[in-house]
Amino acid sequence: MTGRRPAWLLRPAGLIDYDIANEAMHTLAARRLADEIPDAVIVLQHPPVFTAGRRAAEDELLWDEATVTARGGSVRRIDRGGSFTFHGPGQLVVYPILGLGGRPDAAMHLRRLEDVAIRTCADLGVAVGRRADVQTGVWAGEDKICAIGVRLLRTRVTLHGMALNCDTDLAWFDGIVACGLPDHGVTSLTRLLGRDVPVDEVAPVAIRHLADVFELTFADAPDDIVRPFVAAAVA
């Protein structure tokens, strides 16, 4: 364990409202930038929401917002990189709030997130990997299983993160051009393994690999840090 950094782990139960979680994540990142708190990793699920990164084009949202709302979802335009993606029940979402030190390497951070997803899937019996011909993410053949999009706060602290499809309802992806790639599909651990693979099965595996890949030693976050996320649970 020598050389590992201490980090808070937040794993609120239920489906956590996207807007409140996003605001709380940004608050934590600002505090991490000011060295008021240690690194933190948030592991959660959201109610159905399409998020549009800075490169998202309007025509990549294939359903109008009224249709999204009628289906029980929402659309949010946010400050991470990338295009449209979907978050919802059955998807493991990980937001690392990490200080990258005096020589920040955004590309290495992305590769480490990919490593976490690849190792997690391997432990569950699925071989996945990177693709040199397309953008960041983790793939099973032509289908993406894990979307990754981040932002660096003043180039030093990471925001946003990764979304790994476990037993996600993949029909939601019909409403967008996922990650701006019209000729590629999406998949999930459930589809690839031919059995239900819930988030509760996947999360402990991913958390172990997050600790190993990022060289972190996790401790539970204090109650006042977790409270905004707990209060944001909608189901």
Per-residue pLDDT tens for 145-176?
Answer: 999 999 998 889 999 999 999 999 999 999 98
Give the pLDDT of residue 104: 87
CA 189 from chain center: how many Å? 15
Least confident of 37-51, 137-151, 202-216: 137-151
Q: What percent of the chain has pLDDT over 90?
A: 80
Give the pLDDT of residue 182: 65
Tell me: pLDDT of 179 over 70.
no
- Give the mean pLDDT of 116-141: 92
Least confident of 7-21, 60-74, 124-138: 124-138
Least confident of 3-7, 113-117, 195-199: 3-7
List active site positions.
179
